[in-house]
A = this chain, B = another copy of it.
């Protein structure tokens, strides 16, 4: 077995890579004092050698990531390139060569996490990815280890800081979506092309990873239905506030094997999805503002847990990566790998059978009999109304409904039915309302 510092290669020198490299160069002594593990930066692979790399010795920088990964002296490979290729090939090459891999690459993990984990298992090395979901927040390790014996029922996360910032601004300052997005772009919280964030792609990849770990099964980003936040109207946010709710974009992964099963086997049906939802303002996730992230876990025995912190940013994310690097380095020196978890195929609960309360707002012509017509459509589709408020607006009226818990298929059919009424101008809102006790999976 080798001794001396564990040699670490870093692939990619973006925000996170640069923060990690700077820590490895400047705080190796501190890391060793705190963790008992000596780390040494073996090299940094970049795309463009002509850029200046402040503080990184030129001798450590290479444009040949493949050669760096294959360097027999390298024992831990940190992949911070992102995206599918060349990250995938480099990670596979490292694992196949028996090197531990730490990555923050949610796309790659949501595309083939189970296959990569299997490869790591065969090679007897670690594949760790705490930083892939919710930045600095320890969530992967608690789900894998602390809750190893826990029958997790549901995981709900605010895992995208951009959309949480936008929704927080809309909620706290009454901004419209476009204004709040522009502000997020100006502050660097949103990309110029915000699609990946606002359409829920980023959250869906993270939801797939969370579901895979929470339920020990193989979930891919493409398995995750997404609804983004672009259609969330300030009016809905204002109504939500009036009714005691806040609107959040949630990544949800839940097990549906009976209301109180609590300890059903892995392999039971699950639902994994991303959508905006109304949460009671007393819910711990409701207080997660701005660019912060949080993951709320409901366990069969542990009860409610929430893990909160910075979901992005170079230094916070590098901190999570470093925790994994230390873990991997310890295991490299003791000649073991961390636990390989069982992985089953995922069985998805049909979306139409999901049950939830809903918020709908419906613009109608202000005529006698309209409410009766609308209520009839609800009744015809077995969607029970919990509360209704009517607001006059000239020739039109707006009806704001909260429903009781209903089948999603029934609610969708009800919405179609409402749209087909002559007196209905527009059906908006369409937000799930969470937090009632009876809404538990």
Contact = CB atoms under 8 A, between A and B. Distances in A.
Interface of A: 19, 23, 26-27, 29-31, 33-37, 130, 136-138, 141-142, 145-151, 216, 263-267, 284, 287, 299, 301-310, 313, 315-316, 318-320, 322-323, 325-327, 330, 334, 336, 339-342
B307 A34 contact: no
Contacts of A267: 33
A35 B323 contact: no
Given A137-B305, A138-B305, A323 B29 contact: no
Oligomeric state, in copies: 2
A3 to B, nearest CB: 17
Contacts of A137: 305
Given A35-B148, A263-B27, A330-B339, A310 B319 contact: no
B29 A149 contact: no
B263 A301 contact: no
A145 B310 CA distance: 18
B136 A138 contact: no
B149 A325 contact: yes
A325 B148 CA distance: 9
A34 B301 contact: no
A138 B322 CA distance: 19
B323 A148 contact: yes
A441 to B, nearest CB: 17
Nearest to A150: B319
A307 B297 CA distance: 11
